[in-house]
Amino acid sequence: MPEKIPSYGEIIEEELSKVSDTIDIDTFIDKILEIKPSPAKNPRSSIRQHINDNLGVSLIFLDKETIAPFRVVMLGVRFRITLSKLETDEGAIFASPHFIGLDRLSHGEGFTFMDESGSEIPASIVTIKQKDKDIENEKFDLMNIFSRYPSEKEAISLKDWMGKHNAKAGDSIIFTFESWNPMCFKLEFEPKKETLKHKAEIELKDKEFADIVFDMLEKSAREGIYIYKSIAIAYMSLSDPKGYPGNHWYSVLAQDERMEVNSFDIRYAEERGLWEELVGSERSIKKPKLDSQQKEQVYIFKASLKYRTEIWRRIEIKGKQTLSDFDGILRTAFNHDHSDHMAGFWKLIRRGNTNRTRKVDLGDIDPDGEGDASDITIAEVGLSVDDKLIYVYDFGDWIEHEIVLEAINPSQKGVKYPKIVEQNIPRKRYCRDCKAKGKKTEASYICIECTDDEQERVYVCEECLDVYHEDHYADEILS
């Protein structure tokens, strides 16, 4: 029977096991290609992609050209678990969410623990049945994020060790990585009163950790980062990962208004997740408190059609006026029907220092001026000069507009807002049918049916539309 040829993933894992420190990625790629040449058009790029697949699982990039195995860089890294009442009552710590992101399976099997003297701490996997009140009171269970029913949770029993320390709710266990594979931790017990002495230091640690994760999110190719590929990297990226630890990662991110954690990944807080879609919950936009000056300021926007940027309008609207008011003036400005079709607004936010942006859905507006974005004021959207919005009229035809905030000025007394203050110089088009008769008449419609049939734009005046195109579908010219 022929010997099985190992995959590139298996070869990468095998070679990583031989690395005792850091290694230059080009050197590592050479090793992989020496063992198994690649048939790819660009072999080095192909192997680099295989290495990227292991990022956050068994290796980390220390910089663009240097990698290191987790088993090397995680040694000595510390994190904290703050014990809940249910945990101290049971003498056990929950596998979820405590070990999610540090162990991909998160069940705790195969873990070993030692005390500060180096002696092994007896531990076993147990199942704890949670009641509704426990689920409400305990830290939110990521593995049962879609369930609000009594559930059984896997936990790691440390009953003798926790009993020895007389552990109570609010006390902490500080974990130090002694080995990554197999996973071994040194445990230190810290009473709540001792933790409180380090409150300021913990807050700084928490902020640093949250900023690292948010930076990872901003740099991600998608608008989310996988938990199992992010948390360990964030811990080891701290300025002092082996020093005194802050709060557990889940507690830190749960309190950060920029991000939201679900059972799989970390996303921007404004994103509408699977759970919200399933239960049909309404979008929640956190509204800042506005003073009278912010309400009275005038926002000057330039709005243009996305695919016909030569058609634009400059609009002034007060900060206290709503997206419903903005929708109304935009419908007027671009000759959109006020009595038909939905519309919606999105805010574009720059992602970190990159040129990429993400779209935050502000909500929709119906023809009656209602909808989940209808009562959001312009000032509440939180725009600065040069910030952009997307406005879409008619979700079927998807007529998209790009809107740029050009200035924020004081309002003028006696002026009625919102208002259209400027627009592009209209381009004159002439009626084709009149031209055939030797007349020069300005057109006001485009015949859609004739345009489709003849594969060129057919412009007509109102009189010829009634005479020659009576049964044709036509649109009023927007210019």
Reply yes or no on whether the pLDDT at 134 is more than 70.
no
CA dist 406 and 368 (Å) reads 28
* Predicted pLDDT of residue 141: 45
Calculate mean pLDDT across residues 343-353: 89
Residue 152, both tokens? 């059984």
Q: Which residue has the tokens 């080095």?
A: 44
pTM, rounded to two decimals: 0.74
Residue 94, both tokens? 């929950």
Calculate mean pLDDT across residues 197-213: 96
Domain parsing of the chain, residue ranges: 8-73, 79-196, 199-279, 292-423, 432-476
Reply yes or no on whether the pLDDT at 97 is more than 90.
no
* Predicted pLDDT of residue 183: 86
Task: Give CA separation, 95 vs 92, 104, 417, 422, 475, in Å.
Answer: 9, 11, 57, 62, 62
Calculate mean pLDDT across residues 395-409: 94
* Predicted pLDDT of residue 146: 38
May I ask the CATH class of domain 292-423? alpha beta
DSSP bridge pairs for 23: 67
| Beta strands 112-114 and 184-190, pairing class | parallel
CA dist 361 and 357 (Å) reads 13
- Average pLDDT, rounded, for the chain: 86
Of 10-19, 99-108, 206-215, 349-358, the range with the lowest mean pLDDT is: 99-108
Reply yes or no on whether the pLDDT at 282 is more than 80.
no
CA dist 297 and 299 (Å) reads 7
* Predicted pLDDT of residue 376: 92
- The letter for the amino acid at 324 is S
Reply yes or no on whether the pLDDT at 137 is more than 90.
no
Burial profile 1-20: b = 16 or more Cβ within 10 angstroms, e = fewer: eeeeeeebeebbbebbeebe
Reply yes or no on whether the pLDDT at 343 is more than 90.
yes
Question: Check: CATH 1.10.3720.10 for 79-196?
Answer: no
Q: What is the pLDDT of residues 433-466, one digit of tens each?
A: 999 888 999 888 888 889 888 888 899 988 899 8
Residue 260, both tokens? 């939201």
Reply yes or no on whether the pLDDT at 192 is more than 50.
yes
79-196 and 292-423: identical CATH topology: no
For residues 440 and 430, the answer to whether their CB atoms sit within 8 Å is yes
Residue 317, both tokens? 């609207």
Calculate mean pLDDT across residues 330-347: 93
Task: Give CA separation, 422 vs 206, 298, 314, in Å.
Answer: 49, 15, 5
Q: What is the pLDDT of residues 257-281, one digit of tens each?
A: 899 888 788 999 875 543 344 334 4
Q: What is the pLDDT of residues 221-237, one digit of tens each?
A: 888 888 888 898 899 89
Reply yes or no on whether the pLDDT at 364 is more than 70.
yes
For residues 128 and 155, the answer to whether their CB atoms sit within 8 Å is yes
Residue 440, SS3 per DSSP: coil
Residue 273, SS3 per DSSP: coil
Calculate mean pLDDT across residues 311-316: 95
* Predicted pLDDT of residue 392: 95
